[in-house]
Each structure stands twice: as C-alpha cells, then as structure tokens.
Amino acid sequence: MLDIPSRVRVHVETLLAAQNDMGVCDAFEQNEPVGKPDAMNAPHPPKVAGIDSTVPAPAHTVAPASAASDVPRVTTGPGALLQDRLAGWVSDLTTLHELTERLVRTATLADALQELLRAGAALVGARRGLIVLEPGDGLGPRTTVGLGLAQADLGHIETVPRASLPYGELLDTPAGLPGGVAEIVRSDLLAEDGLDPRHREVARRLGFAASYALPLSTETAGRLGAAVWLYDEPAEPVERQRHLVGLYARSATEHLARLLEVERTRASMATMAEELLPSRLPRVAGVQLAARHRTGPRGGGDWYDALPLPDAALGLAVGSVTGSGPSAVAAMGRLRASLRAYAVMEGEDPVAVLSDLELLLRLTEPARSATALFAYCEPAAHKLTLAGAGHCPPLLVGERRTEFVETSVSAPLGMLACWEAPSVEIHAEPGETVLLYTDGLLHRTGDPVDRAFARLHAAASAVPRALRRDPEALADHVLRTVLPDGLDTADSEEDVVLMAARFE
C-alpha cells in the first residue's frame, strides 16, 4: 500500500471518477527510474503564469536548490515517483473540490460569474479577466462582467472589432460543430503578427500583454458565453493549469445554467405581474397619484388599481391574493379585471363592489381567498367612501395629523358564506395624502404586526415638509424608512404595494 502523507485530504470518489481525465493509470506503466521531474512535478512558474497563492498549492513541489545541495541525492524508484504523482493529483482534486464548493454556494447569477472569474484567475495565474454572457438560445440575459476591470475598461475592450477578440471567436463559432474552438491562447499580444491595431492599442492602454480564453459551454447546458483571463506580461498557462481550469469551467457552466434558468423565471414572473398592473396612473383633477410595487422572486398576488369613474370620480383599489407563483399572479389579474367591471357599474357603493367580487371568487376559485380595499374618491369634495375585506386600514398623512383610518373588522373574501361589512367615509383637508398599502409592507419588516404598524406611522409622520407636496417623493420616503438597508428592493416572499393619493 502506498504511503500518502496524512495532510493530503483524499476525496476517493472524486479521485476515481477523475482517473481517466488525470491519467492515473498511465503512472502504473512507469518501470524505469526517472531522474528529471515532468511537467506535473515541476516547481510553480512565476505569478503571471502560475497558480495564485490564494489557491492551496499542490504537495508535489521540488526542493529548492540550496536545500538539495546539502542533502545527498537519493535515487527514486517507480514507487516513489508514483506516490509523488498521486499526491499531486490528490492535491489538485482537493483544490478543484474547494473551488467548486465555493461556487455552488452562490445563489445569484452575478455572484456566480464573479466567483468563476476569481477562481479561474487563480488557476491560470492571471490577475484580471472578463466574462461575456451570451446564451446561444438568444433568450438572454446578455451582459459583460469584469474582474479587476472598471466599467470604462470594459467599454474600451468592446471598441475592438468582435472578430479580433478571443471571446468573439469563441462565441461566433457555431455550437456543436466537430472540432470547435476549445481554447484560445495568445501568449504575447504586442508581438503577435496580424493582430488588429485597435486590439493592440487597447491592450497597451489597459496594460495587458497576453490572454487565455475558454468557452462556457457543455453538451447539456449548451453555449452560455466565454471567459477571458488577462496577463500583465507575456505568459500562458501550462498544460496542468489548462486541464484544471477546463474541469472547473465545465462544472461552473452547469451551475451557471441552473442560475440562468432561475433568473429568467424571475424576470418572466416580474414582467407578467407588471403587465397585469396599470401601466400608468390616470390624471384626475383635484388629486395626485403615485404607486410603488415590489414583487418577490416567485411572483405574488398583491395588486393595485386606479380608474376614472363617471361624474369626475375616481376608483382606488389595493388587494392581495393568497399564494405565490404563476397561479397567484393569474388569479390576481382575473380579480383585478373583475373589480374594474364592478366599479364602473356600482363604484359609488364600495360594499356592493366587494360583495360582487366575493361572490365571483367563491364560485370560480373556491380554494382561494383574498383581501381587498376599494375606495370611491370624489376629488372635488375631498371625500373618500371605502370598504375593506380583511385589509389593512389606510393611513391619512397631513400637516396637522398622521392617523390610521378606523375601519370595521371584516373577514377576507372567500372566507365566509356571505361577506358583508359597512363602509366608512374619509374627509381629507387640502394637501393631505391617503396611503393605501398591502400587508406585505408590514410583513417584510420582520417585526410583529403591532410594531410594524408603529414603524409605518412613524415613517409617515417624519416625512419632511418639502416632500409632502409630491406623492412620488412621499411614497419613496416611506418605503425607504419602513424598509431600510435595501429591504424595499431585496428579494422576499412578500410582495409590497403602496399607493398615495394627495388631495389638492
């Protein structure tokens, strides 16, 4: 049995799975002593062309010359050579395992691209690089991210003709063709014959002299993009480094493909939810409107609406459908469309509007419930008549008062055999604003309900006087105060709706 040092962590299943790629079986064919180390046993090249020190170094390094001169030379046999090579392969596999573990812990596409750039740069001994994400199916997203390159630097690189750039050659090669481009090595750009003058000029300006490029492509994931690492001096990765970064890139591409699918799903859900909501708010004399909507990654059922009604009136509505995902978004769209129809026919009676909506929900979607609030607004009279079904009370914000509107306690729609609740009237002074919102605003704070209500009240009370005349600015201030540190834009299971109506 071989005596492999205990400090080398052996991942047996990984080692056996990679033997064919790493050439372990070839080592058993060595019958003669070998006095000169091969490429796998050679000392690490300089920083530009070697593996970066941030990655654990392999255990199979050759002793320095000073140490070798003091120690008598011992002839190595086939067994010692095999042990040394196996230790080196185990060290390389351990490095790949650690880098892959770091990669799979990334939860977003942007984080995964940055991790791929950092790990690849360490493996090939580069300091800078970029990834061009350009999926072959054309569905996007298409983007360019850099490591050690500012946005202006990426802009300079994009001024080079695409055909002259390594990623251009990789991405423009039809995927799946036999003999396709596997890598592009340019070890000395400034001395290369036939290089595009613009490419040479940009390389000189940005201070890179060599590049190594790999496609981000696998048989299952298809072509996703290309990665390019840049060297400050003429250099190129050795065979061992190319093999390691190739294995890592194949694994990383599969992970990127999964995150890309999640990103596309989130974008589709957000687009569908936004399309089901008003593209713009109506302009009605005597009242100014503003609305903010934040949806979770899976899409939710929170919605809002504002529609002109006869006699210069205005209908305002907010609501929330239980559940998340495509079914909740679709149910939200159906509920909102139905409420608009009922509001046009009997909007002056909010209780009748919600009663009809509750009957429709109970007959068409008996397994789903919803909360809703509908207000019949008369801007000329500064008056709102509203009814709520299990919904949060509106908040009235003015110069002399900030208070929640007292509404009767009522059940959500679809919870009782017959819904009924009285309406209430609000008389607003000129310059006062009524805030309508969904409970997602309260839940996203992470506080108990009573504390979340108190936080909302405090945020509305603290709106600066200069912002109170603009409902857009007022809504933004309340959102940022109630949900600080980016919670108003962060991914959350809770949707958020906030609508402001300011009376002139």
pLDDT in tens, the chain (504 residues): 334 443 333 343 443 344 444 443 333 233 333 343 343 333 333 333 344 444 444 333 333 333 333 444 444 566 788 887 888 788 888 889 999 999 999 989 999 999 999 999 999 999 999 999 999 888 889 999 999 999 999 999 999 999 999 999 899 876 544 445 689 999 999 999 889 999 999 999 999 999 999 999 988 888 999 999 999 999 999 999 999 999 999 999 999 999 999 888 878 877 777 778 888 899 999 999 999 998 866 667 899 999 999 999 999 999 999 887 788 888 888 999 999 999 999 999 999 999 999 999 988 888 889 999 999 999 999 999 999 999 999 999 998 999 999 887 788 998 877 777 889 999 999 999 999 999 999 998 989 999 999 999 999 999 999 899 999 999 999 999 999 887 766 667 788 999 999 999
Domain boundary among 224, 250, 269: 269
Cα-Cα-Cα-Cα dihedral of 483, 484, 489, 492, to 10°? -60
Cα-Cα-Cα-Cα dihedral of 436, 441, 442, 446, to 10°? -170
List the one residue out of 378, 396, 340, 338 whose CA is nearest residue 362: 338
Domain boundary among 227, 250, 269: 269
Which pLDDT belongs to residue 174? 63
Instruction: Specify whether 290 is located in the same domain as 338.
Output: yes
- Asked if 292 contacts 497 with a C-beta cutoff of 8 angstroms, the reply is yes
Which pLDDT belongs to residue 491? 66
Which pLDDT belongs to residue 117? 96
Instruction: Specify whether 218 is located in the same domain as 288.
Output: no
Tokens of 112: 């995964």
- Asked if 142 contacts 240 with a C-beta cutoff of 8 angstroms, the reply is no
Instruction: Specify whether 173 is located in the same domain as 254.
Output: yes
For residue 57, is it within any domain? no
Measured CA to CA, the distance from residue 74 to residue 65 in angstroms comes to 15
Which pLDDT belongs to residue 181? 61
Edge-to-edge strands, sheet with 128-133: 143-147, 128-133, 222-231, 210-218, 184-186
What residues make up the domain containing 239?
101-269
Instruction: Specify whether 304 is located in the same domain as 431.
Output: yes
- Structurally, the chain folds into a number of domains equal to 2
Cis peptide before 174 (omega within 30 of 0): no
CATH code of residue 471: 3.60.40.10
Instruction: Specify whether 292 is located in the same domain as 417.
Output: yes
Instruction: Specify whether 326 is located in the same domain as 456.
Output: yes
Q: Is 135 left (phi over 0), alpha (psi -120 to 50) or beta?
A: beta
Instruction: Specify whether 435 is located in the same domain as 420.
Output: yes
CA angle 206, 207, 213 (to 5 degrees): 85
Tokens of 245: 């970064």
Instruction: Specify whether 442 is located in the same domain as 305.
Output: yes
Phi and psi at 381, nearest 5°, equal -95, 0
Instruction: Specify whether 262 is located in the same domain as 329.
Output: no
List the one residue out of 434, 431, 438, 426 whose CA is nearest residue 498: 438
35 burial class (0-12, 13-18, 19+ CB within 10 angstroms)? Answer: exposed
Measured CA to CA, the distance from residue 386 to residue 400 in angstroms comes to 23
Instruction: Specify whether 313 is located in the same domain as 401.
Output: yes
Tokens of 195: 């290089």
Instruction: Specify whether 215 is located in the same domain as 239.
Output: yes
Q: Rg of the chain's alpha carbons, rounded to an integer?
A: 32
Tokens of 358: 């509750």
Which pLDDT belongs to residue 93? 86
